[in-house]
Amino acid sequence: MNIASAIQFGALVVVAVFTLVRLPLAVQGRNPMLFWGLAATTVGVALSIPSIYLPVDAWLGGENHANLILRYATYGVVALIGGSAAAAFRAPQVQKIILGLPGLVVLAATVTATTVLFSMGDMPVSSPGLNGYMHQEHIWAYSVLGRIYPAYIAACLIIPAFRVAATAGRPALLRVGSALIGVALAEILTWSVLWVTGRQTGVWDYILPHSSVIVLTAGLAAVAYYGIAARNKQKQSLLTPNYTR
C-alpha cells in the first residue's frame, strides 16, 4: 500500500468511526446536522478510493455516475459541517452565508451547474477522479467547480476558526478543536487553489484533501466533546442544592 492509499483508507476509518459514535446522539436529537455531515463525508471519502469507486460505478452503469454522487456528497459535507462549525464559533453571519438564503442560492447554483456540466461530458468508461477525461472542457470545468464550493465554505470559516483558537478566555478544548478545524480549512483552500491553477501536486493531490478530513474530524470531535462536557456541567449545576439563578 502506497502513501496515497494509506492516507485515503486512514481518512475513511477515522470519519466512519466518528460517524458511528455520533449516531446515538443524533437519534436523541443532539446536533443531527453534524451526524449527517459526517455520514456524507464517509460516502465521499469512500468514493474517492479507486478500489471502492470502480465497483460502485460499475453497479451504477460504469459511466462515472459515482463521481457525480461524490460531488453531491462533498457539497452536503461542507454545507452541513460548515453550518455546525459556524454555530460552534458563534458566528451567526457566517452561518447565514452558508445555510441562509445566500448560501442556499450558491449551493443550488453549484449543484445545478455541476449536473449540467456532467451531463455534457462523454465518459463511457469508469475513471477514478475522471483523470482520463480532463481533456474535455466540460469535465475540466466540472472538476474545477467541485473544488470551488468547498473552498468558498472554507474561506468563510477559516477566520472564525482561528479567532476562537486565539481567544485566551475560551476553554482549552474548544480552542484546540477550533485550531484543528482552521488547519483543515487551510489545507482545503491550498488544495483547491493549487488544483484550479493547474499546479502539478502529485501525491499531495491525495494527501491534502484526505489529511484535511482526518484533521477536521479530530477538530470536530474536540469541539463536540467540549459541548457535551459543558452541557453536563450545566445540568449538574442546575441540580446542585445551593444553585442560585
C-alpha grid cell for residue 132? Answer: 482520463
Domains with residue ranges and CATH for the chain: 3-239 (1.20.1070)
Give me the pLDDT at residue 53, please.
92
pLDDT of residue 69: 92
**What is the pTM for the complete model shown?**
0.84
How far is CA 100 from each of CA 80, 82, 83, 163, rounded to the nearest angstrom? Answer: 12, 12, 9, 22
Confidence of residue 115 (pLDDT cuts 50, 70, 90): very high
Looking at every residue in the chain, the average pLDDT score rounds to 86
What's the mean pLDDT in 195-210?
Answer: 76
Residue 5: burial class (beta carbons within 10 Å; 0-12, 13-18, 19+): middle
C-alpha cell read off for 208: 491534502
Given a cut of 60, is residue 162 above it in pLDDT? Answer: yes
For residue 17, the model assigns a pLDDT of 93
Average pLDDT on 74-81 reads 87
The count of residues in the chain is 245
Residue 206 pLDDT: 78
